[in-house]
Structure 1
Amino acid sequence: MRPTPMPGCHWDGSPHTRLLRMAPTSPSRLLRAGHSTRCRHCGHRIDLYQRTDRGPIALHRAELAIAHVPEACRWHLSGGLAHPHGDGSTWCRIPHAVLCPARTPTCPLSPFLEDARRDLAVRTRRLIDIGALTPAPAPAGTAAPENPDHTGRPVVQVLLVRYLAPAPLEAIRCVAQTRHHHRCTRTVLVQGRPVGRWRLLPTGSGCGQPALPDTLMAVYDLSHLPHTEQRRWRAQRCPTHAATLGTADLAPAAWQVFDPLLHAAHIHTRLPHPEASPRREG
């Protein structure tokens, strides 16, 4: 079985036309579009698109029949953006991470997807054998680590929504533009400000996703903070730029809406050690 090529494409899968879109929050007012590249781990071509929650996603280049794709893994393109659900048609796009032979599948695979994944694995082996591909190290977070310090990307609950953070809590950087037209070097988590607290919560609850049975996950919960403080975190700004009106963002906030299936590799079942948790500083 082979995926059906996308309509309106050349023989090699490259599109005849590219859909451009201007980012409404971009101070540079530059047009953007999905662009093609190759996966560093398996060597296959992928399409990178901005998601509706502003985080980029790598999509498999071919459209697949929705009958073969789990509902949680269906995506479609509209207005130059990737939307995490179907568009009512019988075809959809699928994240490359689901089919990449160098990654652990992030959702249950149908027999069709198993065959497609196996076909990609054979092609990857051929690329390695002829010297056309030197695989990169296995992507970080392909499995939930046993180390409970949570040094990777944590799940953060803010404004009643769970997000996958773009970096460890102490490294989430402000996105605001400085007076010298550079990106602010401060972080969102700063000394002297209220901090969140780690909690074990049912996976998927509170965010619109079905909970996974008998599974608790560590969540950095900000729900008890004042509304203005939660909005500052969601806007990914330091306290100085959060209080400054009219300051443009030099980069989009990089939060990704947490999906327990797509982001299963970032689920931790234990709380971090006390010394690994952010603390309130005087």
Structure 2
Amino acid sequence: MCPTPAPDGRHWDGSPRALRRPRTLRVTTTSPSRLLRAGQTGRCRHCGSRIDLYPRPDQRPIALHPAELTVTDVPKSCRWHLSGGIAYPHGDNSAWCRIPHAVLCPHRTPTCQAGTRLEAIRRQLAVRARRLIDTGALTPAPPVTPQPDAPQPGGPDRPVVQLLLCRYLAQQRLEELRCVAQTRHRHRCPHPVLAPAGPTGMWKLLPTTARHGQLALPDALMAVYDLGHLAYGEQLRWRTQRCPAHATAPGAADLALACWEPFDPLLHAAHIHTRLPHSSPRPHRRG
């Protein structure tokens, strides 16, 4: 005797099957941060330890130690707390706080006076980093050295971009900037920020003048990719690092931090170029 298959939507005995529709999670428009928890974890490029990345109130990223510590073990100048996905540089009157990874990283010099508890954690991270290096699982990042100041095809590896009346240092080439939004399949969007047929910026030689409290170097010109002539919405799309499709999707969350760092001529002197690149960045069409 051949078995009779159960109809769709019912169990083998004919009883109805309760189907649950998956919920669509969206980030509210009033949220101070759109970054999902899955996009906040990384690894220190110097010691290989796990870090949690969070934006500060001025939108600069900071790497925090993943574990909470008691406030009695952390100096006041090193205490941080989280609120709404934003890291604030002080305590929140609780018994616990977060601490920047730079204070515990064995590759760096401590920025504050560490107690017994912090020194113990620092030694543990140093032992783990040495083990990773000896086994070949970690190659410490080399120090940044100034490159010869010559025009580069397509722009420098870390260009300086001017948008929304501020200057930012990108983490990679403009053509390689990838959208940080989450797709419907819960993956990071593969599309670039630079639109193939949309308006783009212009390379200009601009003085390294102070903008909104930034330090400046006197009588110096630098190559800047200027987006200031674009519409406000287009500049905001670049600042949030989204492709044109996700720029109109405010409910979509982010799976990574935007690769922008407020530019400081003194701290980022190795990335200052006094000559314009050969060509403007625009993705090539494949036909």
Tell me whether the two structures share a fold, i.e. TM-score over 0.5.
yes
Q: Deviations over 1:125-168 (max 9, x none)?
A: 89638976657334266334336535433332211133333432
Aligned: 1:278 with 2:284:
no
Alignment partners' CA distance in 2, 1:34 and 1:176: 10
Listed as ranges, the gaps of 5+ residues in structure 2 are 1-25
Identity over aligned residues, as a percent? Answer: 41
Alignment partners' CA distance in 2, 1:167 and 1:226: 24
Is this contact kept in 1: 2:239–2:258, CA < 8 A? Answer: no
Aligned: 1:160 with 2:165:
yes
The aligned counterpart of 1:9 is: none
TM-score (norm 2): 0.57
Q: Report matched runs for 1:1-282 at 5 Å.
A: 24=28, 32=37, 39-42=44-47, 45=49, 47-52=51-56, 57-59=62-64, 63-66=74-77, 76-79=80-83, 81=85, 83=87, 85-86=89-90, 95-97=100-102, 100=105, 102=107, 124=126, 128=130, 134=136, 136-139=138-141, 142-146=144-148, 148=150, 149=152, 151-178=156-183, 182-198=187-203, 199-202=205-208, 205-211=210-216, 217-242=222-247, 244=248, 248-251=252-255, 254-258=258-262, 260=264, 264-265=267-268, 267-271=270-274, 273-275=276-278, 277-278=280-281
Alignment partners' CA distance in 2, 1:277 and 1:233: 16
Give how far 1:258 is off. Answer: 1.0
Is this contact kept in 1: 2:53–2:64, CA < 8 A? Answer: yes
Residue 145 of structure 2 aligns with an amino acid whose one-letter code is A
Alignment partners' CA distance in 2, 1:176 and 1:112: 39
TM-score (norm 1): 0.57
Alignment partners' CA distance in 2, 1:214 and 1:111: 36
32-41 or 45-54, larger mean C-alpha shift: 32-41
Distance 1:215 1:123, change over 3 A: farther
Give how far 1:100 is off. Answer: 4.5
Q: Deviations over 1:205-256 (max 9, x none)?
A: 21333435666554322112222321221232323443x4566245355144
Q: Deviations over 1:87-131 (max 9, x none)?
A: 699xx977445774546x8xxx87969xx99x9699848963897
Distance 1:32 1:253, change over 3 A: closer
Listed as ranges, the gaps of 5+ residues in structure 1 are 1-21, 67-73
Residue 194 of structure 2 aligns with an amino acid whose one-letter code is L
Alignment partners' CA distance in 1, 2:42 and 2:185: 33
Distance 1:127 1:191, change over 3 A: closer
* SS of alignment partner, residue 274 of structure 1: coil
Alignment partners' CA distance in 1, 2:254 and 2:227: 25
Residue 188 of structure 1 aligns with an amino acid whose one-letter code is V
Distance 1:219 1:120, change over 3 A: farther
Residue 202 of structure 1 aligns with an amino acid whose one-letter code is T
Residue 130 of structure 2 aligns with an amino acid whose one-letter code is I
226-235 or 172-181, larger mean C-alpha shift: 172-181
* SS of alignment partner, residue 278 of structure 1: coil
The runs of at least 4 aligned residues of structure 1 exceeding 6 Å deviation read: 33-38, 119-123, 129-133
Q: RMSD of the TM alignment (CA)?
A: 5.1
Alignment partners' CA distance in 2, 1:206 and 1:166: 20
